[in-house]
Amino acid sequence: MTNAVQLKEITKDELNKKIQSKDPFELVNVLAPESYKLGVIKGSKKIPGAELEARFRELDKKKAVVTYCAGASCEASIKAAELLSAKGYDVSVYKGGVAEWSAAGLPLEAPVDRAEAKKEKGDCCS
């Protein structure tokens, strides 16, 4: 049985406020590159969950970290947050992911067909 870590969660509105305030933090999209077609929240680092164990040192340990993936049904952001928490990072999970962000009309870096993103919101982490 696992020794579950209590992870902090951040809402869409809290994340948007954090981005707008220009607070220094690390926003990490943990989706596989082929999922970037869904869009990427502006300012995100792209570190696929499968590569995080090897690449976690790219993140500044002095800054808070927020992980996200496709949406509520995607668990990659939770797994990434657990890994980073175990490495001593101050990490929160944005469970709404790209699907919620896009549905709210918030800015994405990659142009995306919002209807397509909504249709694929459960598609994650292949």
- Taking the C-alpha atoms of residue 88 and residue 104, their distance in angstroms, rounded to an integer, is 32
77 in any annotated domain: yes
CATH of the domain at 73: 3.40.250.10
106 in any annotated domain: yes
> What own/partner pairs with CB < 8 Å and gap ≥ 24 does 15-20 have?
15/41, 15/66, 15/94, 16/106, 18/66, 19/43
Q: What pLDDT shows up at residue 23?
A: 83
Q: What pLDDT shows up at residue 6?
A: 85
Q: What pLDDT shows up at residue 4?
A: 56
Is the pLDDT at 99 greater than 90, yes or no?
A: yes
1 in any annotated domain: no
- Strand pairing report for 8-9 and 91-94: parallel
Instruction: State the residue range of the domain holding 32.
Output: 8-119
Domains identified in the chain, total number: 1
98 in any annotated domain: yes
Q: What pLDDT shows up at residue 122?
A: 46
105 in any annotated domain: yes
Is pTM, for the whole model, over 0.75? yes
Q: What pLDDT shows up at residue 39?
A: 87
Q: What is the pLDDT of residues 103-114, one digit of tens each?
A: 999 999 865 454
Q: What pLDDT shows up at residue 111?
A: 52
